[in-house]
Amino acid sequence: MATRGRKTAGARARKAAVARSRSEAPVGIVGLGIMGGGMAQALLGAGRAVVGYDPDRAARTRLQRAGGRALATATAVAQQADVVITSLATVAALDDVVAKLAAARRPSGRAPLVVVESSTLPLADKDRAHDRLARAGAIAMDCPISGTAVRLQERAWTIYASGPRSAYRRVRPIFSVFTDNAPYVGRFGHGTRMKFVANHLVAILNVATAESLTYARRLGLDPELVHKLVATSPIIGTGVYRLRGRFMVDRSYRPATMKVEVWQKDMQVIGDMARAVGAPVPLFSNCAALYNAAMALGLAQSDSASVCEVFDAMTGGGTRGWRIRGRSKSMRG
C-alpha cells in the first residue's frame, strides 16, 4: 500500500508539473535542425509549450507535427516567448536572426527577453550579437552545447552556460529538460571558450580513434572485438571512442550526428582562436588536414567519424567500402 501511495503521489506531482509548465510562456527556438529540433522535441516531451522558426519548411513542419507551433519569423518567436534558444550554423544566420529578435516589440511589464545562443561560432560574432541585443533591451547568454542529438536522448549533454547569473537562474529549468550537467562557467563568452577547449579535444580523439581502428584492421584484428575491448576499458575507453568508433567499425556514417561540413566550420573557428591567443596546437592542425581530406572524398554530409575512410584510402584500401544511404561505395570508385 505504501508503494502504491508513493507511485500515486509521484504521478500527481508529474501531472502538476506538466500543468504548471503549460501555463508558462512558451520556449522559443530559432533554428530547428538536428540540435534545435532535438531540443524542441525534448521540451514538448516534458510538457513545455514550444514556438519556433526555421527558414526550412520541412523543419517547421516537423515542429508542427511534434506538437509545437511554427511561426513565420524569428521576430514572432521573440514576441511570444520570454526565452529564445538559437541554434544556428553560420555567422550570417546569427546576424540575421539577432536583427529580427532585436526588432521584436514586446508588451510592457514582461521580463526582458533572454536569448540563449547555443551555436559554435566565432566569439567576436557572438560579442556583436550580445551588444545588439543589449541595445534592444534583451539579455544574451552564450551557452554552447557539448554533445550530439543522440546524446540528448541519453541526457548526456554538457551545456556551458555563460552570461548574467540572473539570466542563468531563469534558463536553468529549461536546461534541466536536456541534461543535469549545465554548469555556470562565468561571464558572457566563457561558454564558447570552454566549448572550443572541448571540441579541440574531440577533434583529436576522433582522428585517434580512426587511426587506431585502421591500424587494428591492418594487423588482421577483428574491428568489432577491438572496439568492444577498448570501449569498455576504464583507462582508454572514451565517449568519443564508443560513439564514433561504432560508426567506424560498421563503416556506416549516415544519418550523421555531426556532419563533416559542419564540423569543418567548428574546426576553423577553434583554429582561428588558437592562433589569436598564441596557443600551439600541432595535433589539432594535423587533424584538420584529415577532415579536409574527408571533404575531398565526398563525405561532407556524412558523420565526422567518416574521417576513418581517409586512413583507409591511405592504405590503398576500399575492399569493403563505406555505406551511404544504405548503399556501399567503394574507395576505388
Helix (DSSP H) and strand (DSSP E) numbers for the chain: 14, 12
Q: How many CB atoms lie within 10 A of CB 163?
A: 26
Cell of 54: 526555421
* Same fold: 2-188 with 195-329: no
Give the pLDDT score at 45: 96
pLDDT (average), residues 36-56: 97
**Residue 305 has what DSSP assignment?**
G
pLDDT (average), residues 39-65: 98
Q: How many CB atoms lie within 10 A of CB 209?
A: 25
Determine which of 128-132, 145-149, 279-283 has the lowest per-residue pLDDT on average.
145-149
Residue 321 has pLDDT above 90, yes or no: no
Give the pLDDT score at 323: 53
Give the pLDDT score at 72: 97
Determine which of 114-118, 229-233, 326-330 has the lowest per-residue pLDDT on average.
326-330
Give the pLDDT score at 320: 47
- Residue identified by cell 598564441 is 278
Q: What are the boundaries of each domain within the chain?
A: 2-188, 195-329
75-101 pLDDT tens trace = 999 999 999 999 999 999 999 999 999
pLDDT bracket for residue 147 (50, 70, 90): confident
Determine which of 3-7, 141-145, 235-239, 284-288 has the lowest per-residue pLDDT on average.
3-7
Q: Which candidate, 48, 35, 118, places its Cα nearest to that of 81?
A: 48
229-275 pLDDT tens trace = 999 999 999 999 999 999 999 999 998 988 999 898 889 999 999 99
Contacts of 20 (CB under 8 A, 6+ apart): none
> What distance lies between CA 112 and its chain's CA centroid?
26
pLDDT bracket for residue 134 (50, 70, 90): very high
259-316 pLDDT tens trace = 999 898 889 999 999 999 999 999 999 999 999 999 999 999 999 999 999 999 999 8
pLDDT bracket for residue 24 (50, 70, 90): confident
**Residue 307 has what DSSP assignment?**
G
pLDDT bracket for residue 118 (50, 70, 90): very high
Contacts of 298 (CB under 8 A, 6+ apart): none
Give the pLDDT score at 47: 97
Give the pLDDT score at 73: 98
Mean pLDDT of the chain: 90
Give the pLDDT score at 330: 41
Q: Are 84 and 138 in contact (CB under 8 A)?
A: no
Q: How many CB atoms lie within 10 A of CB 261?
A: 17
User: Which CATH code is given to the segment(s) 2-188?
Assistant: 3.40.50.720
pLDDT (average), residues 186-201: 97
Question: Is 9 buried (19+), middle (13-18) or exposed (0-12) by CB count in 10 A?
Answer: exposed
CA dist 130 and 128 (Å) reads 5
Give the pLDDT score at 23: 53
User: Which top CATH class is 195-329?
Assistant: mainly alpha
CA dist 138 and 143 (Å) reads 16
